[in-house]
Amino acid sequence: MSESLLRDLSEIPNFQIFTTHDSRLKQSSYVSESIPIYSGDNVWKIWEDCIVNSDAVWPVAPETHGILLQLTELIEKNGKILIGSGADTIRITSSKYATYNYLKDAGFNSNPTYKYLDNPYIYDEEGWVGKLDDGAGCEDSRYFQSYAELKRWLSEGREFTHVFQRFLHGQPASVSIMCNHGSFHLLSCNLQKVSLADNYFKYQGSIVNGLSEHWDNFECFVKKIVELFPGLAGYVGIDLMVKNKEYHFLEINPRITTSYVGLNQALGMNPAKLILEFMFPELFYNKVFKMPELPRLIENVIIDE
């Protein structure tokens, strides 16, 4: 994901880009400067120094363990241009539990999400899913046919870190959108490749625009979410389950997702430049942003994890 973003940013003139990288890996060929991070380094001090020496920051990080939130707070604390959602929005959307309760309070119908201590006994013959509350992808996600087995699994040190939901049959999907504090544009409708083996879920990539026939319905669905989360900004991914013509909300990813990797090819244009023009038209000497017409019926771009 980060390499695809760096490639797209490198194609925009008059930008000087720098980043960090794991010392065990090569520096990206798309940047002139990248700081290697070694075992034992104070990575948060390094990242803050990078933020201080930048005009704008585009954080690429998982929600897990609050990493994305901490980075965003650092960017805001140092008064830099943030290319992404603010800390208040990330604080809610990073948690599946908090997101569900926020949506429920707003009257939006989504798959009920519980914690171990909620202890709701609801029989469901389709089974249950246990997952990390702030996990990315299918991290530590498991299917349970038995409610009792689910409760035992949660009691093994997952009481406060995991949530559980009813299992939903259907087609795993996601949408890639760009947001600007209440307004948005849909970029692609993606088919998620998720397998279930030995009761564990595994994310295996996506087919960018593999569900483009749902474009209009997805757009209506996303509009409701963005209205409820006006703080969403930059690139955002929303996961949902499609069953016939029913759409079930799963989660919001307020960050770059794997589907971004195929967007340049799918759109036939630079998605990073498009997002920056949408969020900051003044940087590109435009008074008013005009959304270009995007292709919907295109050859699918397959991303393998």
- Answer whether 298's CB lies under 8 Å from 212's CB: yes
Q: Span 171-196+205-304: which CATH code? A: 3.30.470.20
**pLDDT tens, position by position, 1-54:** 899 999 999 999 888 999 999 999 999 999 989 999 999 999 999 999 999 999
Across 62-80, b (16+ Cβ under 10 Å) vs e yields: bbbebbbbbbbebbeeeeb
For residue 302, what are the contacts with CB-CB under 8 A and spacing of at least 6? 205, 206, 207, 208, 262
User: The pTM is what?
Assistant: 0.93
Across 223-259, b (16+ Cβ under 10 Å) vs e yields: eebbebbebbbbbbbbbbbbeeeebbbbbbbbbbbbb
Q: Residue 100 and residue 210: Cα distance in Å, rounded?
A: 27
- Answer whether 26's CB lies under 8 Å from 20's CB: no
Instruction: Work out the pLDDT band at 299, boundaries 50, 70, 90.
Output: low
- Answer whether 98's CB lies under 8 Å from 229's CB: no
Residue 189 is predicted with a pLDDT of 94
Q: Where are the domains of the chain?
A: 2-90, 112-166, 171-196+205-304
pLDDT higher than threshold 70 for residue 298: no
* Pick from 169, 165, 172: nearest CA to 147: 165
Q: Residue 85 and residue 1: Cα distance in Å, rounded?
A: 18
* Pick from 100, 103, 76: nearest CA to 87: 76
**pLDDT tens, position by position, 97-154:** 999 999 999 999 888 999 988 877 666 678 999 999 998 878 888 999 988 899 999 9
**pLDDT tens, position by position, 78-89:** 999 999 999 999
Burial tier of 209 (Cβ tally within 10 Å: 0-12, 13-18, 19+): buried
Most distant pair of Cα atoms in the chain: their distance: 60
SS3 237: strand
Cα dihedral 165, 168, 172, 176, rounded to 10, equals -50
Token readout for 236 is 């955002």
Burial tier of 288 (Cβ tally within 10 Å: 0-12, 13-18, 19+): exposed
**pLDDT tens, position by position, 170-202:** 999 999 999 999 999 999 999 999 888 899 998
DSSP 209-226: TTTGGGHHHHHHHHHHHH
158 HSE (CA, 13 A, CB side)? 22
